[in-house]
Structure 1
Amino acid sequence: MTPLTPPDPTGPAPDSLARLAERGARSWPHAPALSWQDAQGTAHWLTFAEARAASDEIARGLLALGLAPGDRIAVQSGPRPEWTLTLLAAASCGLVLVSLLPSTVPDEMVHVLNDCDAKAVLCEDGEQLAKVRAARPRVPGLRHVVVMDAADAPADPSRPDPARTDPSLTLDRLRAAGAHTVAPDALARRRAAVRAEDLLLIIYTSGTTGPKKGCALSHANYLAVLRAHPSPPRHPDAAPDTSNGTVFVVTGPHTIALLMQLLTWWSGYTLVWWRGGSDDDLVAELRAARPSIVPLVPLALEKIYRAALADVPPARRPELLEAAREGLRVRRMLAAGEPVPTGLREWFDRTEETLFARVREGFGGRVRRVTVSGAPVSQDVLAFFLGCGLPVVECYGMTETAAAATTNTPEDYRLGTVGKPLPGVEVAIADDGEILLRGANVFRGYWGYDEGGFGGVRDGWLHTGDLGELDGDGYLRLTGRKKELIQLSNGMAVTPHPLEQQLRTHPLISQAVLYGEARPHLVALITLDARRAAEWAAARALPTRLETLARTPELLAEISGALEHANSGFQEYFRARAVHVLDRELSAEAGELTVSLKVARPVVHARLRALFEALYD
């Protein structure tokens, strides 16, 4: 049996994350901690020891600004190594990091920065700096602005003191100032003073139904989740300059990605960010990274699923889907110790080395675990990948639970559920079906709110707003959202997710949004996957521009057929009777998608109400 690498082979278990960078550098000094590509495609990396040194320089620079323990600093940036280094730096000197996405606009920034009373903002580049400057007159408490890209904020030699308010202060200058003006002992004293109950992060929720609220998360919240993660396997002959595997992060630097950044340092993984781009770019980078762990939102998994089908000639796609179904049946028989008929086993062995192997290669061929969370996911898509031998499992968590609460594992999963509670987490179901969670991972509340209603923590229980049920073996099944139930005019309350999931399995459909509050039946709005729709149209000599294609009889017939097929699996009240094909995709920048790429249903319903209502004429 391969021995496991202990989480910290050289010291006791930590009581905060203040020493996380130090701990990683001590445990895996020469292994790559961060790996990325620049704009020219050149690969770069930092070892754990190098990254620890860089994060300490940033921490000392933050101390040079005069920031006190508990002060809030905001980071507005896309995924990049400086983001992770700043997170480690903030943890090490008792500061509270506030996550801002690069899509945040000045008005949102004003609300967030004033709400949390941020003293400093670290922004990515000139584009983000312009937003900060636009917001700054309305944020009286903001004292410092730091820019990560030196080219976008040239140094001002007339203002060398970093403690002065300087909107053109670069991260390099901040690091240099800290190295010259703050002794290492000062950082060591701040690090030693950090406690588990101290805040580490404030993450602002999507705000689809009102102003954004900041989830206040402590070191202890994240420690509870990290301690539940199994130690990664490591061969006893592994070279000291190799990590325990690779974590490939697709989502932006928010809830899931924040946990993954901490996990890489906790368990000795190499962190690799997806640079963004098309579906083809995602599949190509995933294959090249050859990751061990891949956290995904359902939309990303569905993109990979569509790419896998697109690699197969249309006439052979039914064969692939049927093979995956048979493959899942055989894998279940093997897991249960049941005998597999000789002919079926011979077919399975051949297919395992050919067809299934090609699908697995889409994930790089080394993946140990793919976790899917953040929104409902199609069970057909999950079953496809499981049948091909990929360890794709659902888990469940929220920003309010440090991103995790329950999980399936490749060794212990039940399709259609989000798994069992993590160690130390309790799950209960309220009388109205709402999921309640309790444990050390549950946040203390929303920043600045005396929360006593929906979504709050009462008597230690987090009221999640999600609906679910526990089976006899302790697996949790999600059944809907408490606030997303659609109440039809006949009194029937229906959840929109099952039909939306089924519609999204069609290769041309990227999003599906149901509507029907106080109406007699459901209707649907569909958006198209732009690239696949263009390929489909070109093969039929149809217009490839979405604005035109979305109105062609051939396309409308295809989508109507997809709706008919999806409807066939549901009871009458859960079916949509009409569909509108939107001539564009939904946009995160416009607020139509949340940061986890879920549909912001109230925004879409309000903005496109006329289109929905026209379907009832």
Structure 2
Amino acid sequence: MRDLALAPPAVSPLTGGLADSVFETADREPTRPMLARRADPAAASWEEVSAIELRDQMVDVAKGLIASGIAPGHRVAIMARTRYEWTVLCYALWAVGAEVVPVYPTSSRDQVEWILRDARCVAVVVEDEQGVMTVGSVCASLPLLRHVWQLDAGALEDLAARGEFVPLATVDSMRRIVLPDSTAVIAYTSGTSGHAMGCALSHRNLAAPCDTLLTGWGHTAAPPGEQGSVLAFLPFSHVYGLMIQGLCVRGGLLMGHQADLGGEALSSALRSFRPTYFYAVPSVFEKIYKNFLRTAQQGGHGGLFERAAETARDFAAALERQRLGRGRGPGFDLRLQHALYERTVYRRLRAALGGRVRRATSGGSPLSRDLSLFYEGIGVYVHDGYGLTETGGGVTMQPLGREKSGTVGQALPGTEIRVAEDGEILVRGPSVFQGYVGDEAATRAALRGGWLATGDLGHLDSEGYLTITGRKKDIIITSSGKSVAPAALEQRLRMHPLIHQAVVVGDNQPCVGALITLDPEFLAHWRAALALQGEMREAREENALREEVARAVAAANSSVSRSESIRVFRVLPEPFDVSNGLLTPSMKLCRDEIVRHYASEIDAMYQSRRRPGRPSTQDEPSNWDDSDNVFR
């Protein structure tokens, strides 16, 4: 082992279950706004729900669960988008000692059947008729399933009515026997290959990172004297979404729910809710940046935006050097330029996030350093954190006043991080999960002497900052034996506004290649701006597009050695999506399935660029032209 990072002691340990925090807040600050909801998703006004109102509704639902036979240790699946009822139901289940099994509402019939059967669920809560139909189609193979409740059909109201005659003391007695190490959630991994595995997470596992983050960073969620607010739009079916829910409920932050992740719907919700803190994944930050750029170009201000963006990155980099003791900070000319763009550009960009956000967190995968610097430069510092399902959420965070873009920060207090000799990141701490449900062999393989083998690759610098370089299973080995980590190349490709997704390939091939999909909105804008007319318009447009993507590939290659660079690529006609099985519900690439699905295209991509007359045994990267690029 090498690169050992030890963190300070953790915060005070949990003494009960997660539902206790709702009761404690209601007793301490009964009128404190806790949740916000809208009667109409398109409405501009939000109705606030106080701590005591949340507690009372949660208790009513808990009574209904008891009346329906839900007991401690029973597992109940929730298959719905991020919405108000999800939170009420989740805490009601925890109040009676039940275990929550989150299921993505977009899951296929086979995935739903597997999770409900593997977790031995006794009930499932779905969102709509489609969910009812999906569960109904697999009920015959689920002998333990006794209830299917539908949120859109008034499931919470029906449960409250059913439990009307259950005494409050019954809920209290069940809640008080829930221990910190009782299982709270069975969170299924995304299942990028094979069946998903259920990660058993205790109340302590979920509370530990939330309490640590609130203790050390909670004051940054809002200006002094203001209540912090968060718009929750990431799926609660993923541990990152669950952590955001936990942070809000345990920290007394006002949480709004946004189910529709469409660009306009999310943008409208941000402007009306006006959060003080923003949580997202890198693809959301990338999309927002591209929207900024496209809007500026459509208004004839593309050059102004690009200059402002460059100034923002330079300004943030200078600030970073200053806070890390490596420089004097922004000079007079840079400060003057930055102040000019603050008045003309940056404040308008922040308005797109509601106008009150000053700090944000990115998780799920590493955020590029350039993008992190851009957001800091416009006045929204983005903490890049690291965590996984098996750790109940975050295990690292940027230290306040010592933030370092391009890294995921340092280990949270109470958590230890090691990097093994082969580069794999190992984690030990109170958030590490209990094990995989029904799979002792997989649990033993993941937990080695108390250390969780994450499967992620990275390194720690001399100050304990962790940098993620990829996944062990994603490493590509070319026919010449060169090992290539695809994540950094893919990240740099996605920074180009035209590129939506990228998958680097090359196992047992003479060089590295890439499968690329285009951003449909930016592509339409790009074509309109190109405005080609006359004969051979389509051919000239394709050539221009080929050259633009080739420039994006060249820019990505500038960060790696020649032997690691992308030498061939193909633009695909459709994106990788959950519906075609090439993207997990948590928006991760199903690499093995993508390679299988596009096997013929990958083979053609390489075959078309082989030099005539050269035997395949001599196909080395040095034999390939710099201009290699293939469009479908």
SS at match of 2:425: strand
Residue 456 of structure 2 aligns to a residue whose secondary structure is strand
CA contact (8 A) 1:29 1:47 kept: yes
Q: Distance in 1 between matches of 2:399 and 2:129?
A: 43
Match of 1:177 among 153, 162, 172: 162
Q: What percentage of residue pairs aligned between the two structures are identical?
A: 35
Report the CA distance shift for 1:175/1:525 in structure 2 as closer, same or farther (over 3 A): same
Alpha carbons of 1:110 and 1:189: their partners in 2 closer, same or farther (altered >3 Å)? same
| 1:31 paired residue number | 32
TM-superposed CA distance for 1:589, in Å, is 2.7
Distance 1:322 1:41, change over 3 A: closer
Question: CA 1:317 to 1:252, structure 2 compared with 1: closer, same or farther past 3 Å?
Answer: same
1:404 aligns with 2:394: yes
Cα distance in 2 between the residues matched to 1:27 and 1:573: 62
Which of 85, 89, 103 is 1:86 aligned to? 89
Amino acid corresponding to residue 178 of structure 1 in structure 2: G
**Residue matched to 2:243:** 259
Contact 2:583 2:590 in 1 (8 A): yes
The 1:346–1:482 alpha-carbon spacing in structure 2 relative to 1, beyond 3 Å, is same
Q: Give me the whole-angstrom Cα distance separating, in 1, the residues matched to 2:559 and 2:330.
A: 30
The C-alpha deviation readout for 1:75-126, integer Å capped at 9, x for no partner, is 1111111110111111111000000110112221111111111011111111
Partner residue of 1:473 out of 463, 467, 482 = 463
Residue in structure 2 matched with residue 297 of structure 1 by the alignment:
281
Distance in 2 between residues matched to 1:262 and 1:33, nearest whole Å: 12
2:125 to 114, 117, 122: 122
Q: Distance in 2 between matches of 1:76 and 1:343?
A: 54
Q: Which has the higher mean CA deviation after the structures are superposed, 530-539 or 297-306? A: 530-539
Q: Report what 2:308 is aligned to.
A: 320
User: Could you report, residue by residue, the CA deviation over 1:144-203 in whole angstroms, capped at 9, with x for unpaired residues?
Assistant: 11111127xxxxxxxxxxxxxxxxxx33211111122x1111111101111011000011
Equivalent residues in 2 for 1:375-414 (5 A)? 375-414=365-404
Corresponding letter in the other structure for 2:115 = V
Aligned AA (2:23) = E
Q: Aligned residue for 2:5?
A: none
Shift of 1:272: 1.8
| Residue type of the alignment partner of 1:488 | T
- Is the CA contact 2:397–2:412 (under 8 Å) kept in the aligned structure 1? yes
The amino acid that maps onto 1:125 is: D
Cα displacement (A) at 1:469: 0.9
Residue 285 of structure 1 deviates from its aligned partner by 2.8
> Which residue, out of 493, 499, 521, partners 2:483?
493
CA distance in structure 2 between the partners assigned to 1:36 and 1:455 by the alignment: 43
Once residues 222 and 192 of structure 2 are traced to their aligned partners in structure 1, the CA distance between those partners, rounded to angstroms, is 47
Q: How does 1:500-579 map to 2 (within 5 A)?
A: 500-541=490-531, 552-579=542-569
SS in 1 for 2:101: strand
* Cα deviation 1:356-405 (Å, max 9, x = unaligned): 32333332232242111112322211121122221112100001000111
Whether the 8 Å CA contact 1:248–1:271 is kept in 2: the answer is: yes
Q: Normalising by the residue count of structure 2, what TM-score does the alignment of the two structures yield?
A: 0.87
For each residue in 1:34-74, what CA deviation from the matched residue of structure 2 results, as whole angstroms up to 9, or x when unmatched?
22334452343322211111111111111111122111011
Deviation, structure 1 residue 522: 1.1
Sort the Cα spacing of 1:37 and 1:580 in 2 relative to 1 into closer, same or farther, 3 A. Answer: farther
2:318 touches 2:329 (CA, 8 Å); kept in 1?
Answer: no
Match of 1:362 among 352, 355, 365: 352
SS class of match (2:454): strand
Separation of aligned partners in 2, 1:78 and 1:573: 44
CA distance in 1, matches of 2:177, 2:70: 15
Greater relative contact order (Cα < 8 A, sep 6+): 2
Q: 1:220 to 1:542 in 2, by over 3 A?
A: farther
Contact 2:318 / 2:328 at 8 angstroms: preserved in 1? no
The one of 214, 217, 227 equivalent to 1:230 is 214
Cα 1:607/1:38, change in 2 over 3 Å:
farther
Shift of 1:503: 0.6
SS of aligned partner of 2:441:
coil
Partner of 2:623: none
Q: For the structure 1 residues 464 and 526, does the alpha-carbon distance in structure 2 shift closer, same or farther, using more than 3 Å as the test?
A: same
- List gaps (5 residues or longer) in structure 1: 1-7, 152-169
In structure 2, how many angstroms separate the alpha carbons of the residues matched to 1:343 and 1:114? 64
Partner residue of 1:190? 174
Please, which of 95, 100, 104 is the counterpart of residue 103 of structure 2?
Answer: 100
Distance 1:339 1:66, change over 3 A: closer
Q: How many residues align?
A: 581
Aligned to 2:592: 602
CA separation of 1:594 and 1:409: change in aligned 2, threshold 3 A:
farther
Structure 1 position 332 matched with structure 2 position 335:
no
Structure 2 counterpart of 1:171, one-letter code? L
Distance in 1 between residues matched to 2:148 and 2:407, nearest whole Å: 45
Find the aligned partners of 1:558 and 1:347 in 2 and give their Cα distance.
30
SS at match of 1:527: strand
Tell me if 1:55 matches 2:40.
no
- Which AA in structure 1 matches 2:19? A
> Quick one: distance in 1 between partners of 2:406 and 2:41?
43
| Shift in CA distance, 309/56, structure 1 to aligned 2, threshold 3 Å | same
Distance (whole Å) between structure 2 residues aligned to residue 509 and residue 579 of structure 1: 12
Letter of the 1:250 counterpart: F
- Please identify, of 394-403 and 347-356, the stretch whose mean Cα deviation from structure 2 is larger: 347-356
SS at match of 1:311: helix
Separation (CA, whole Å) in 2 of partners of 1:280 and 1:41: 10
- In the alignment, structure 1 residue 214 sits paired with structure 2 residue 217: no
Q: Which sits farther off after the overlay, 319-328 or 508-517?
A: 319-328
Which structure dedicates a bigger proportion of its chain to helix?
Answer: 2
| Aligned residue number for residue 114 of structure 2 | 111
Give the superposition deviation at 1:291: 1.4
Please name the residue that 2:295 is paired with. Answer: 311
User: Could you list the runs of 5+ residues in structure 2 that have no partner in the other structure?
Assistant: 1-10, 608-632
Provide TM-score, normalisation by structure 1: 0.89
SS in structure 1 at match of 2:18: coil
SS class of match (2:284): helix
Range moving further from structure 2, 213-222 or 64-73 = 64-73
